[in-house]
Structure 1
């Protein structure tokens, strides 16, 4: 039995639908796929998904999947969250990206911050908190021990409907050493969203705007020394104690890269859907002129891509299983080697998905299928943009592999 959480002074609200199940939640996301496909162009033009879509997500409970039940959340865990993200991304990569990177950080807050912080941050139930991994700006200690934070942070996916923002500011040590990052969480009224998104190659509708903070006072209990990706949980976490749920004691770095993997998977599944539609409605370009579904070459291309994407899905879902089982074994089980092993799996998931689209689906869909605004063309742009993401091109591709070997062989 875990440590009993303290009894709150006031009762916390029940979830809006107390009897809702994870399977029903996932089914709601899957049912939205056709509508999200139809609105892809509109979402790109706006640079984020619409207010009505946001409200539908809120009614469906998507923003409460990872919020602890103590605060009116569903506490369904990462399996339900990843399956919902996969479905939304299959319909619209920009929408899935914006949702995932806005709603996912409820897990970090519920895991790493103390009871006082969680009481404040989860007060509204829905929790949308974009974050950036690149430190920026400055944080200066006030006389009463809090922090004045200023700066501009880019690529804050999920900013348009956010309730909070999580960033890293640089703190200069009192002894004059090198500045070090500090994680902080700011309320929505403490920052400004800049109108600077939509000009990138892909993911134009992902709501990845910059955030500016001008001298916001951040309470000390809403900060953590260090970088989110480097905070260890092997000793114990406030969230595990408070909620008696092992998933609020899991590795944050491995969870972060699992987000990369599920987004790649959803995009690739959407590309395969679009390719299937092309096969069912078009004929071969050279004699014998037959439906593409009957042509051996198109059958082969579809089968190759489908097999790669199915393999990626199987690997990804097993990484979710590994993450959850590691949590269940207790904080000491969340070692660097285990986290890096999950990261290595996620890298293979991303690569399989990208190669399925880039090598098999996009080149053979036909010129009319990759004109601007067509579904396969849009997914190719989105996945090309995704390949430049630092989490994919730098961390998963190189750092994670080296760190896995170093952890295995005990090399610091």
Structure 2
């Protein structure tokens, strides 16, 4: 879990980071010093390979303090998880990089043309959270040979993941979202750069190069639980700040102008939001802990278990949406001020919850088809 000293440091610099559009140097140093970007990478190649439930709880606790910090750690540490699917020699080389940080995008908005023992890469990708501190970038690209798409067994274009050093990448600074400003989730371009075939990899438990339980956990379920914990962490922060806002307001429609927080409907909204979030959170972690225990014992995650994990993650996200949207109207114009903490958290929450994976219908058993 996050220590009180680390939480204080993160909080102290959150306003300036949001204003500047990138994490404060002290926040960046904390991320590196704590090794948070290595926590999901294989131990054998220089990572920490921590249990997934421990990682998710840490990511949630960071997001409870600052959404941009939590999101950056989660997305960049998640890219470090790809080390379990890379050739060990390359993974070891990457993890040996000073202040290593992997950033990237899942959308297949580029091409990889076969050339000799490798691929010639061309493309532009969006939303690389943590781009300014990235030492390496990951992305998905459509494969081609002699200008023609390579097809899979179903006749669909083949898509493969790649990792390349930052020296081959041009950052395109166009992150202008209302929230998560300090994640600096800029676009990036690779223009005609060649990489060896070893830089391509598949995110599939059957193709993992490391045999730890982390790399037997299905990617989609992994993505859902880490993103949901961030969104819920931001919602928890918002509820706490909303109560503070409401506590300073008066009910202008009450006969005696009583404190707004004492109005039964308002108190019920606050208590209901907290209760709903706490209830889903408890069931979410119970399921995650149980699923992880099975994987740690050598079992595979069944499709049913993965679907249940995904559904609980989305239930937590949707409960977070309801809590934030229910309480915001009671917070007054102060919550609309761009320089207020409650507004920053509101902006961060509504930006994070727009992630393509977190469409509201996902908890119904359907999944998003838009690239992550």
TM above 0.5, one fold? yes
In the alignment, which of 233, 241, 261 is matched to residue 274 of structure 1? 241
Q: Give the distance between the partners of 2:71 and 2:158, measured in 1 at CA.
A: 29
Contact 1:343-1:400 within 8 A present in 2 as well = no
> Within the alignment, does 1:384 sit opposite 2:361 as a pair?
no
In structure 1, the residue matched to 2:73 is 99
Q: How many residues are treated as equivalent by the alignment?
A: 361
Q: Give the distance between the partners of 1:173 and 1:322, measured in 2 at CA.
A: 45
In the alignment, which of 250, 254, 268 is matched to residue 221 of structure 2? 254
Q: Give the distance between the partners of 1:400 and 1:223, measured in 2 at CA.
A: 33
Q: Give the distance between the partners of 1:336 and 1:121, measured in 2 at CA.
A: 32
In the alignment, which of 185, 205, 208 is matched to residue 237 of structure 1? 208
Write the deviation string for residues 232-263 of structure 1: whole angstroms up to 9, x where unpaired: x2x463211xxxx3223221121011122011
Write the deviation string for residues 259-292 of structure 1: whole angstroms up to 9, x where unpaired: 2201111111110120232244444433433444
Unaligned runs of 5+ in 1: 1-25, 405-412
In the alignment, which of 359, 364, 367 is matched to residue 333 of structure 2? 367
> Within the alignment, does 1:164 sit opposite 2:136 as a pair?
yes
Contact 1:102-1:158 within 8 A present in 2 as well = yes
Contact 2:132-2:184 within 8 A present in 1 as well = yes
In structure 1, the residue matched to 2:194 is 217
Q: Give how far 1:125 is off.
A: 6.8
> Within the alignment, does 1:140 sit opposite 2:113 as a pair?
yes
Q: Secondary structure at the match of 2:64?
A: helix
Q: Give how far 1:351 is off.
A: 0.2
Q: Secondary structure at the match of 1:274?
A: helix
Q: Secondary structure at the match of 2:70?
A: helix
Provide closer, same or farther for how the CA distance between residues 170 and 336 of structure 1 changes in structure 2, counting only shifts above 3 A.
same
Q: Give the distance between the partners of 1:216 and 1:399, measured in 2 at CA.
A: 40
Q: Give the distance between the partners of 1:261 and 1:136, measured in 2 at CA.
A: 25
Q: Give how far 1:183 is off.
A: 0.6
Q: Secondary structure at the match of 1:373?
A: coil
Q: How does 1:77-96 map to 2 (within 5 A)?
A: 77-96=51-70
TM-score by length of 2: 0.88
> Within the alignment, does 1:401 sit opposite 2:365 as a pair?
yes
Q: Give the distance between the partners of 2:120 and 2:286, measured in 1 at CA.
A: 43
Q: Give the distance between the partners of 1:368 and 1:132, measured in 2 at CA.
A: 35
Write the deviation string for residues 283-328 of structure 1: whole angstroms up to 9, x where unpaired: 4433433444544333212101111221232133224214412422
Q: Give how far 1:363 is off.
A: 1.4
Provide closer, same or farther for how the CA distance between residues 185 and 400 of structure 1 changes in structure 2, counting only shifts above 3 A.
farther
Q: Give the distance between the partners of 1:125 and 1:363, measured in 2 at CA.
A: 46
In the alignment, which of 314, 322, 333 is matched to residue 347 of structure 1? 314
Provide closer, same or farther for how the CA distance between residues 403 and 200 of structure 1 changes in structure 2, counting only shifts above 3 A.
closer
Q: Give how far 1:155 is off.
A: 0.6
Unaligned runs of 5+ in 2: none
Q: Secondary structure at the match of 1:59?
A: helix
Q: Secondary structure at the match of 2:142?
A: strand
> Within the alignment, does 1:182 sit opposite 2:189 as a pair?
no
Structure 1 segments of 4+ aligned residues over 6 angstroms from their partners: none
Q: Highest relative contact order (Cα 8 Å, sep 6+), 1 or 2?
A: 2
Q: Over aligned residues, Cα RMSD in angstroms?
A: 2.5
Q: Give the distance between the partners of 1:171 and 1:217, measured in 2 at CA.
A: 13
In structure 2, the residue matched to 1:10 is none
115-124 or 131-140, which moves further after superposition? 115-124
Provide closer, same or farther for how the CA distance between residues 330 and 392 of structure 1 changes in structure 2, counting only shifts above 3 A.
same
In structure 2, the residue matched to 1:22 is none
> Within the alignment, does 1:315 sit opposite 2:283 as a pair?
yes
Q: Give the distance between the partners of 1:154 and 1:401, measured in 2 at CA.
A: 27
Write the deviation string for residues 41-99 of structure 1: whole angstroms up to 9, x where unpaired: 32222222112210122122322322333344333222222122112211121221122
